[in-house]
Chain A
Amino acid sequence: SQQGEEDPQALSIQEGENATMNCSYKTSINNLQWYRQNSGRGLVHLILIRSNEREKHSGRLRVTLDTSKKSSSLLITASRAADTASYFCATDGTGRRALTFGSGTRLQVQP
């Protein structure tokens, strides 16, 4: 079963707009990570937020974490066509020493 579930499953926006993706998870976590996957490629790490952090920034990325609601959001500001990809959240909260991934949000940025 998936620990994290992203919402929406698919998102289409125009270049320059902001994109927000949400992730909900089931069990308590130590940290939550976001990854990007371009079509047919491996995953690339974007950002890690620890359970004692509420917000983290990296360039045009902003991640929030609400452990009381077991949810996180990823905001991409001023999106570009190159941001077109699938975005996954991953958590460590399953008791195994491994990441558990959600099903992802497919983002399409129209030029």
Chain B
Amino acid sequence: NAGVTQTPKFQVLKTGQSMTLQCAQDMNHEYMSWYRQDPGMGLRLIHYSVGAGITDQGEVPNGYNVSRSTTEDFPLRLLSAAPSQTSVYFCASSYSGQANTEAFFGQGTRLTVV
């Protein structure tokens, strides 16, 4: 049982480039979310999804797009990378659509924008 898998683990982008961070879970969880973590800070919510076809914005959505075409996958797209998006990105999933159950996290994608 792989849990939550994120790819790539590391990425360097040039300003203005676009890319997609991949996230997949094999636990049949309805709820998935993307967070970013900056040095010395907690996680800030970017986007989340309560099921296939349903997404919503979190605290810091600007510059990011998401879609949820399947239960398993929740990719995060950076439209035009900026140095301010240098961060570690975590994908998480949980059983229910409410924040009242344990969340499972991927190992993170460390993104540097130069």
Contacts and interface: CB of A to CB of B under 8 A. Distances in A.
A100 interface: yes
Interface hub of A42, A90, A96 (most chain B Cβ within 10 A): A42
B103 A45 contact: yes
A1 B101 CA distance: 22
B74 interface: no
Interface residues of B, number: 29
B48 A97 contact: yes
Contact of B106 (A31, A42, A97): A42
A44 B43 contact: no
Interface in B1-59: 4, 31, 33, 35, 40-45, 48, 50, 56, 58-59
Contact of A97 (B31, B40, B92): B31
Contact of B103 (A1, A96, A99): A99
Interface string A28-59: 00110101000011111100101000000000
Contacts of B90: 42-43
A63 B104 CA distance: 20
A46 B11 CA distance: 30
Contacts of A35: 103
B65 interface: no
A101 B100 contact: no
A96 B48 contact: yes
B99 A43 contact: no
B98 interface: yes
A97 B54 CA distance: 12
Interface in A46-105: 48, 50, 88, 90, 92, 96-104
B105 A98 contact: no
Contacts of A96: 45, 48, 56, 58, 99
23 contacts: A30-B98, A30-B100, A31-B100, A35-B103, A40-B108, A42-B4, A42-B107, A43-B92, A43-B103, A45-B104, A88-B42, A92-B98, A92-B99, A96-B99, A97-B48, A97-B97, A97-B98, A99-B33, A99-B92, A99-B99, A101-B42, A102-B42, A103-B40
